[in-house]
Amino acid sequence: MDNATNRSPRAERARWAPPGYKYPSRSVAHSAAYQAERLTAADVDPALYGDRYEAGLFGLDCFDSMVTSGLDIDGYVFFSQVYRQLRPSRLGEPLTVTGWVRDLHQVRKGHSVTELYHLTDGEGRVCIETELTGLLADPPERASQDSGDAPPMPR
């Protein structure tokens, strides 16, 4: 593939995939022990969730999608991740993570990237959707001084 926008992100340790790029789907499941350990570390009582997943713990699975696609996330600065739970799912239930790059805008010090992810159950129903936003900072010697084309961040 000669066109850089059509190259696999694995090619030449790509800094980021273009808008519309879909990450390979992956199956994930979190055990009760995994969830309890993380919630307890955050001083949250795991009993509040019973036998249901806490949606925010799937954030690392989203990052794993980026890394397993071959993206170089060194310098990635995480801004926010918003979750919307559409259907509760049970601890240990396998979910499929699918994600794609929605927006990629050049900004003064790198690129602002927004990605969308769906976590679906075995019947293909979306249980959780999440939007992740971050900055992929350029190395200091490559940082541009212009403002790029990104829209202003909402306050």
Q: What pLDDT shows up at residue 47?
A: 97
Distance CA 133, CA 99 (A): 13
Residues of the chain with pLDDT under 70: 1-15, 139-155
Integer Cα distance of 31 and 63 in angstroms: 19
Nearest Cα residue to 71 out of 149, 1, 134 = 134
- Please say whether the beta carbons of 122 and 128 come within 8 A: no
Query: What residues are paired with 22 via a beta bridge?
Result: 100
Per-residue confidence (pLDDT) for residue 123, from 0 to 100: 96
Instruction: Report which of 103, 95, 111, 120 is spatially closest to residue 144, judged by C-alpha positions.
Output: 111
Residue with tokens 């699918």: 98
Q: What are phi and psi of 48, to 5 degrees?
A: -60, -25
pTM of the model: 0.79
pLDDT at 150: 56
